[in-house]
Structure 1
Amino acid sequence: MTRFDRQRCDPPAGQGVIAVAVAHGDPYVAAGISALLRSGTDFNVCSGPPDGQAVDVIVTDHGGGIAAMSSWQRRVDPLPVLVVTDQETGWQIRRALGAGVHGYLLQDCSRHELLSAVRCVAGGGKYMGGLVAERLLDSLGQVAPTGRELQVLQLMARGLRNREIGAALGIGEGTVKSHVKALLGKLDASTRTAAIGEAQRRGLVAAEAPCR
């Protein structure tokens, strides 16, 4: 998980107060979220991951939310996680929701929506921002690449050829070709370059990834 500065949570000030740990990887976003939550009367806010402290909900970034759910999947009662992020493609949203996060908001959400989402998630509910729901619906017809296909795709985007990809992943060149063929079909692309471009549009690989 992303490393954060840690600060102990004070105990809730009174009955009905929601204890929130803001553990966002971007310090400026974290500061903004904390300030907005402190403007409400029913939140007790601390910085960084809870580390076993009693909190009602954790607000974090995309990668932090996925990592948190992965590390807590064996817990009987995992802490509710709300993701606040600029990652807005359908695949990115599906990946986080598939990991088990309880809420998903975009960073440009309103103060009212942020407070409502935290209250909802802390109370055991699920929350998706309006634009998040639209992006998710738009992506439902798309078949997601498998984990191995994503590995191949990442290496393709770095400019590696089939033989190099096979060597990097410890698989045969023929197997790599099969994965590439599957990726072209899932991304509705006729060439590797087109597939990488579509993957960048969907948020599957970084937009700045070089292709040789």
Structure 2
Amino acid sequence: MYQIRSYMRRQGHMFPAQKRALAELWQDYGITVEGELTPDALFGRHAPLHLEIGFGMGDALLEMAGSHPENDYLGIEVHLPGVGRLLQRLQQREITNVRIDRRDAIEVLKYLPTQSLAGVYLFFPDPWSKKRHQKRRLVQAAFIEQLRQVLKPGGLFHATTDWDDYARHMLSVIESTDGFVNRAGPGNFHPRPEARPLTQFERRGLQQGHEVRDLIYQRI
């Protein structure tokens, strides 16, 4: 059986400032514990916990955390340049309600307590566009079942993609899974929420004429 991963194996170039941030700031923001995660212990308080899977260069996560200091945010990213860049910017803006995990999301979800998340965000995941690779797409029935377990009733799963085939794939998978209701109505994509940060990745895609699809589902 093929084991789904939440990422493609690749590492980009790290600038000296990103390397320095990773070396100096990881102890403040990084998760080093193995096994079950205890959100209150990670953040030193009890607050609504939100998760972004694959935060890339950290644009959306930074804006969400900065705009909502009443929430806590866990970001998952395996690619070091993005981690280093986010660490830099968190320090510059003195944002303290973020923790970063560099493990694969499938593993992290196993270690989160049941019904511990208020929201999960999956912005522009790898579409694995070639047909022979589509089995590698993260959004599959087993992944959605993992989300159902860790999301609180009323919690939201928000996914976006600029790849139409993947958008329809996600729609089909989630609509076929028990435990979620489509906030836009059965079979519909959601209008772009104003609150969703516009990242550099999305801005480039829009300039190239890509249509971005949003899917928002509520755990019931």
Larger helix percent? 1
TM-score by length of 2: 0.28
TM-score by length of 1: 0.28
Say which one has the larger Rg: 1
Q: Which has the higher contact order (CA 8 A, sep 6+)?
A: 2
